[in-house]
Structure 1
């Protein structure tokens, strides 16, 4: 399943989206050597990226499978707690806890192949139709004026 918006960084990591509707998302990633720290486990930045992406996907998910996604989102703030090292294939589930017209309040949990909790995060996401970057307005699909 596609996230309906191409995120080059997630594609580069090899992230897969398997759920994207109803205020929920599920992403997964095989932790290969290039994504590890000096302990040989998932780098914390990789785990945080997955948690952020899962929450962001949940925030902009359509109400029904295959529906039109909500506006694009940007992360306003995020808090992460790590419980154990991430190894093998990580699965991250995100969900919207509450939503206003302009903000989504989300949480996500990352699990290892055995279903053990690796990390948990909460975050706030702002809904935007466009973003001004370097003096030009960029639409959520990457097109610019």
Structure 2
């Protein structure tokens, strides 16, 4: 069976939740194709970034069926991905950083179950060194409930 027939067959026999997940996936492919997102993971997670001030940004991730783990809450790895992406993005924007930053170390503390309509990560620069940027991040849901906190160290890429 070719891929087109497979997709049609799947869609015709899909549940409402599967259709919702397919829509999120299709929208993410469109965003990447239209270059509205730098990475497939950012478009799949529907990440939106807002620079709050020079040393702080917020990154929002709406909840979707794609994020659930087997017990119906957001998978911890996706919460960690949100933290890593938000902190890494902010580390890439610090003065003296021209090419971006990559994660050297990431420590995540999961504090409460990841439930809610959306998850907002606030990433803040703790220290901007010559080669390393030290970051802190916190993820809350739309009601302000603290879900996870993290610290991370990011290496500035050279020219």
- Report the TM range for the smaller structure's normalisation: 0.7 to 0.9
Pick from 15, 19, 43 the counterpart of residue 47 of structure 2. Answer: 15
After superposition, give the CA deviation of every residue in 1:17-67 in whole Å (9 maximum; x if it has no partner).
Answer: 12265121110011111111011111001100000111111112256xxxx
1:106 corresponds to 2:135: yes
With over 3 angstroms needed to count, the CA separation of the structure-2 counterparts of 1:75 and 1:5, relative to structure 1, is farther
**Distance apart, 1:95 and its partner CA:** 0.7
Larger RCO (CA under 8 A, 6+ residues apart): 1
SS state at 1:10 partner: helix
After superposition, give the CA deviation of every residue in 1:64-104 in whole Å (9 maximum; x if it has no partner).
Answer: xxxx9743110000100011111220000001100111110
Pick from 71, 79, 84 the counterpart of residue 99 of structure 2. Answer: 71
Structure 1 alignment gaps of length 5 or more: 131-145
SS state at 1:120 partner: strand
When the two structures are superposed, what TM-score results if normalisation uses the length of structure 1? 0.77
1:57 corresponds to 2:89: yes
Structure 1 CA distance for aligned equivalents of residues 134 and 97 of structure 2 = 17
Q: Residue 133 of structure 1 aligns with which residue?
A: none
Is the Cα contact below 8 Å between 1:76 and 1:125 reproduced in 2? Answer: yes
Q: Residue 4 of structure 2 aligns with which residue?
A: none
Runs of 4+ deviating beyond 6 Å: none
Is the Cα contact below 8 Å between 2:94 and 2:128 reproduced in 1? Answer: no
1:93 corresponds to 2:122: yes
With over 3 angstroms needed to count, the CA separation of the structure-2 counterparts of 1:19 and 1:11, relative to structure 1, is same
Larger radius of gyration: 2
Is the Cα contact below 8 Å between 1:20 and 1:57 reproduced in 2? Answer: no
When the two structures are superposed, what TM-score results if normalisation uses the length of structure 2? 0.70
Aligned length: 123
